[in-house]
């Protein structure tokens, strides 16, 4: 990758543990506008000693984002049996949500490994600083972009578009690479998580290291819940700050004043390893407890709850959508593998060949249609089917003489439509095909392609869901205003169960109805009431 592709450094520093004074900055170089106050605590979150290496993203003031590479090695008892250090850097926030600081990750990790056992030699640090330090011209360009808030506003469109292009170099540390892991971790809970972020709640993810994984989940959740330009165009002009939630990445106890003072309409998403922040309900609206997998135990789902103690679950429609999404991703992976098999076979000599595989790998990868079960404990993360839904579905089955529910078919078709016509996925497939034809595929390349596919599909899928919700609500508000006298707004806008269904939400879920009403207040400044859904009427008679 070319030198100019890397974001310039506003600061470079080394943090170590001194037995007399604790965490301390052992070496630093910085520009005059770079604030290094408290940086040593941001570089070394609680619990980091439990891993051999890690990568931490954080926000430092209004102008910079930070990245820190941590490494440790065994030592004698004089050093408490471990010696560690962190090599960190600050980059201007005007270069993007993370300032593309992840491009420096590989070099910082190498420096950390090199210096953890030889902290006296600063030659490599000096060399890296001289190579990438921000010049006066770059600083002037940063000033033209303005503060971090202005930088976010200028880049929110480019970062939130469907095709999150993953560069071949440095891809191992790109946050979008964790999209497959996010989908596996949250399962159907990814839908209520994104809805909470769409309402611009203050969301705190509480989990143990590795911190890089948790910070990447913050980044991805922010991307998935951002508004596209088309969605913003149908909203009132004063809602521009709501286009995307703020990502604070890693926070700790020292950031409690910042969290308590933050009153942005856009809300925020952050992650922490400090349990005490999870006990401070006044700091957050939604707490996401990321449960680590213990050796020999089953994997557990994250736990989402509100500050008033209510547990957040996925709806039945979320579950159906999740299975549809996983099925589409599996189909794409099989198609790519099948094509690669055919290319490899064409390269071989015609006729019988002992080297030709009898069973194609695409066949081995293919799952049966019925193998779409979750990993277990579904009742913990998905709302049970309501009595009203059971009664309605039973009545419709009886009334249709056992034929397939037309409403369910329409719902499934609408969800599939959200996954259609993804041009960026096609470009990934074409690139994969050309590389396969040249015999250039390896395991790392395959992982890159798979991650880019998942990133593209997930981003497009959730942006289309968001566009559908915002567009439908905008039409409802406009129609309600058209039906009233000029200059007079309706106090409370009625939203039908059919409107809720059109938005891709669950008409039987109380939390989805609350979501719709709150979204109208947030984005349109109007009151709303969802009609129906919670009560079933057949021929005008309330059944349940």
What pLDDT, in 10s, does the model give residues 458-468?
A: 999 999 999 99
- Based on the domain organization, do 206 and 340 belong to the same domain? yes
Comparing CA positions, the residue from 240, 456, 149, 207 lying closest to residue 328 is 456
Residue of 406 and 473 predicted with greater confidence: 473
Alpha carbons 163 and 376: distance in angstroms, whole number: 32
108 in Cβ contact with 80 (< 8 Å): no
pLDDT at 435 over 60: no
Could you tell me the two tokens for 354? 């002992």
Mean pLDDT of 420-430: 61
pLDDT for res 19: 76
| Kind of pairing between the strands at 286-289 and 202-206 | parallel
What pLDDT, in 10s, does the model give residues 110-136?
A: 999 999 977 778 999 999 999 999 764
Alpha carbons 461 and 165: distance in angstroms, whole number: 16
- What distances in angstroms separate CA 234 from CA 194, 475, 477, 487, 499, one per listed residue? 20, 9, 11, 19, 17
- Based on the domain organization, do 77 and 217 belong to the same domain? no
- Based on the domain organization, do 393 and 481 belong to the same domain? no
Work out the pLDDT band at 154, boundaries 50, 70, 90.
very low
pLDDT for res 132: 95
- Based on the domain organization, do 246 and 101 belong to the same domain? no
Residue of 433 and 253 predicted with greater confidence: 253
pLDDT for res 151: 42
What pLDDT, in 10s, does the model give residues 159-183?
A: 444 445 555 555 678 898 899 999 9
pLDDT at 530 over 70: yes
Work out the pLDDT band at 453, boundaries 50, 70, 90.
confident
**Which of 466, 494, 520 delimits the end of a domain?**
466
pLDDT for res 421: 76
Work out the pLDDT band at 9, boundaries 50, 70, 90.
very high
pLDDT at 153 over 80: no
DSSP state of 208: P
Work out the pLDDT band at 357, boundaries 50, 70, 90.
very low
- Based on the domain organization, do 43 and 88 belong to the same domain? yes
Residue 444 lies in a domain: yes
pLDDT for res 369: 40
What pLDDT, in 10s, does the model give residues 82-113?
A: 688 999 999 998 867 788 899 999 999 999 99
- What distances in angstroms separate CA 226 from CA 184, 222, 267, 277, 402, one per listed residue? 21, 6, 12, 26, 42
Could you tell me the two tokens for 252? 């700790």
506 in Cβ contact with 316 (< 8 Å): yes
- How many other C-beta atoms can be found within 10 angstroms of the C-beta atom of residue 163? 16
Residue 370 lies in a domain: no
Mean pLDDT of 316-323: 93
pLDDT for res 170: 55
Per-position DSSP letters for 300-369, written without gaps between them: ---EEEETTSPEE-B-HHHHHHHHHHHHHHHHHHHHHHHHHHHHHHHHSPSS--TTS-SS-HHHHHPPPT
- Based on the domain organization, do 127 and 183 belong to the same domain? no
pLDDT for res 158: 41
pLDDT at 79 over 70: no
pLDDT at 474 over 90: yes
- Based on the domain organization, do 13 and 137 belong to the same domain? yes
Mean pLDDT of 141-151: 49
- Based on the domain organization, do 479 and 462 belong to the same domain? no
Residue 355 lies in a domain: no
Work out the pLDDT band at 399, boundaries 50, 70, 90.
low
Residue 374 lies in a domain: no
- How many other C-beta atoms can be found within 10 angstroms of the C-beta atom of residue 291? 14
Residue of 483 and 39 predicted with greater confidence: 39
Q: Classify 54 as helix, strand or coil.
A: strand
- Give the helix ranges, DSSP H, for 262-299: 275-278
Mean pLDDT of 315-338: 88
Phi/psi at 90 (nearest 5 deg)?
A: -115, 140
- Based on the domain organization, do 424 and 518 belong to the same domain? no
- Based on the domain organization, do 56 and 195 belong to the same domain? no
Mean pLDDT of 255-265: 83
CATH number, domain with residue 22? 3.30.450
Residue of 443 and 247 predicted with greater confidence: 247
275 in Cβ contact with 208 (< 8 Å): no
| Burial readout 98-116 (b: 16 or more C-beta within 10 A, e: otherwise) | bbbbbbbbbbbbebbbbbb
pLDDT at 390 over 90: no
Q: How many domains does the chain have?
A: 3
Alpha carbons 236 and 289: distance in angstroms, whole number: 35
DSSP state of 72: E
- Based on the domain organization, do 473 and 461 belong to the same domain? no
Its domain, for residue 6, covers: 1-147
Residue 245 lies in a domain: yes
pLDDT for res 368: 38
Average pLDDT, the chain: 80
- Based on the domain organization, do 204 and 341 belong to the same domain? yes
């Amino acid at each position: 990758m070319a030198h100019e592709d890397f974001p310039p450094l506003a600061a470079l520093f080394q943090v170590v543990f001194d037995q007399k004074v604790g965490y301390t900055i052992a070496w630093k170089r910085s520009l005059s506008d770079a604030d290094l106050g408290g940086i040593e605590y941001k570089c070394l979150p609680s619990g980091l000693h439990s891993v051999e290496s890690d990568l931490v993203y954080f926000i430092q003031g209004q102008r910079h984002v930070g990245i820190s590479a941590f490494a440790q090695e065994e030592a004698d008892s004089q050093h408490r049996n471990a010696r560690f250090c962190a090599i960190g850097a600050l980059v201007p926030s005007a270069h993007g949500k993370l300032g593309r600081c992840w491009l420096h990750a590989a070099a910082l990790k190498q420096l950390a490994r090199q210096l953890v056992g030889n902290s006296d030699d600063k030659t490599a640090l000096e060399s890296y600083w001289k190579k990438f330090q921000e010049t006066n011209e770059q600083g002037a360009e940063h000033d033209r972009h303005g503060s971090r808030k202005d930088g976010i506003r200028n880049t929110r469109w480019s970062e939130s578009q469907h095709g999150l292009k993953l560069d071949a170099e440095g891809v191992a540390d790109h946050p979008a690479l964790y999209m497959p892991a996010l989908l596996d971790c949250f399962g159907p809970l990814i839908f209520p998580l994104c809805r909470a972020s769409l309402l611009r709640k203050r969301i705190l993810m509480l989990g143990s290291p590795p911190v890089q994984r948790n910070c990447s989940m913050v980044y991805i959740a922010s991307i998935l819940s951002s508004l596209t330009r088309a969605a913003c165009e149908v909203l009132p002009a004063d809602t521009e700050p709501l286009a995307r939630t703020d990502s604070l990445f890693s926070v700790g106890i020292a950031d409690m004043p910042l969290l308590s003072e933050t009153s942005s309409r856009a809300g925020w998403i952050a992650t922490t390893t400090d349990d005490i922040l999870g006990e401070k309900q006044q700091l957050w609206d939604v707490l996401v407890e990321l449960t680590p997998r213990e050796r020999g135990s089953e994997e557990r789902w994250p736990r989402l709850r509100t500050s008033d103690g209510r547990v957040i679950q996925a709806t039945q429609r979320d579950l159906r959508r999740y299975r549809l999404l996983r099925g589409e991703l599996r189909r794409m992976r099989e198609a790519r593998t099948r094509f690669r098999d055919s290319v490899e076979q064409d390269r071989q000599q015609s006729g019988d060949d002992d080297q030709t595989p009898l069973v194609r790998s695409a066949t081995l990868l293919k799952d049966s249609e019925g193998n779409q079960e979750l990993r277990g404990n579904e009742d913990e993360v998905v709302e049970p089917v309501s009595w009203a839904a059971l009664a309605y579905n039973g009545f419709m089955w009886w009334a249709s003489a056992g034929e397939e529910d037309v409403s369910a078919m329409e719902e499934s078709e609408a969800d599939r439509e959200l996954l259609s016509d993804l041009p960026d996925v096609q470009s990934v497939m074409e690139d994969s095909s050309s590389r396969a034809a040249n015999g250039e595929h390896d395991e790392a390349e395959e992982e890159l392609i798979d991650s880019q596919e998942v990133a593209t599909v997930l981003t497009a899928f959730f942006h289309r869901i968001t566009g559908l919700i915002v567009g439908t609500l905008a039409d409802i508000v406009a129609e309600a205003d058209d039906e009233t006298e000029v200059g007079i707004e309706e106090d409370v806008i009625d939203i039908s169960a059919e409107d809720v269904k059109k938005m891709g939400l669950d008409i039987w879920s109380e939390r989805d109805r609350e979501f719709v009403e709150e979204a109208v207040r947030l984005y349109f400044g109007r009151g709303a009431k969802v009609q129906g859904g919670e009560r079933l009427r057949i021929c005008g008679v309330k059944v349940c």
